[in-house]
């Protein structure tokens, strides 16, 4: 598990699948942190999953949830909450 400080500063980049290749050849100092939408990466395996995990080893990560819908009328998806918590732990992402 990466050991990233929860104190982030500077300029981050929202991680998209299309950026995985270009970011592999970018100097880590060019980006201060990555913003990751967990719903886009939970359960991703294969080549994309490997690229994602290699990349997040080089940068601090913050998560930006898209689907919790905490204030909505539907019940909270506890399976999604547990999956996000597991990804947070795996990535060393702050709360």
The DSSP code for 6 is: S
Query: Which pLDDT does position 24 carry in this prediction?
Result: 86
Query: Which pLDDT does position 6 carry in this prediction?
Result: 55
Q: What is the mean pLDDT of each run of 10 residues along the chain (95 residues)?
A: 64 92 84 93 94 91 88 91 94 84
Backbone angles phi, psi at 43, to 5 degrees: 80, 5
The DSSP code for 58 is: S
Query: Which pLDDT does position 8 carry in this prediction?
Result: 77
Query: Which pLDDT does position 68 carry in this prediction?
Result: 86
Domain ranges of the chain: 12-91
pTM over 0.85: no
């Amino acid at each position: 598990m990466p050991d990233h400080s929860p104190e982030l500063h500077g300029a981050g980049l929202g991680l998209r699948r299309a950026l995985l290749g270009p970011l592999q050849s970018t100097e880590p100092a060019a980006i201060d942190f990555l913003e990751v939408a967990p719903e886009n990466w939970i359960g991703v395996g294969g080549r994309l999953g490997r690229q994602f995990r290699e990349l997040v080893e080089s940068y601090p990560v913050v998560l930006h949830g898209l689907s919790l819908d905490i204030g909505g009328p539907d019940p909270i998806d506890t399976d999604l909450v547990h999956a996000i918590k597991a990804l947070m732990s795996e990535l060393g992402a702050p709360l």
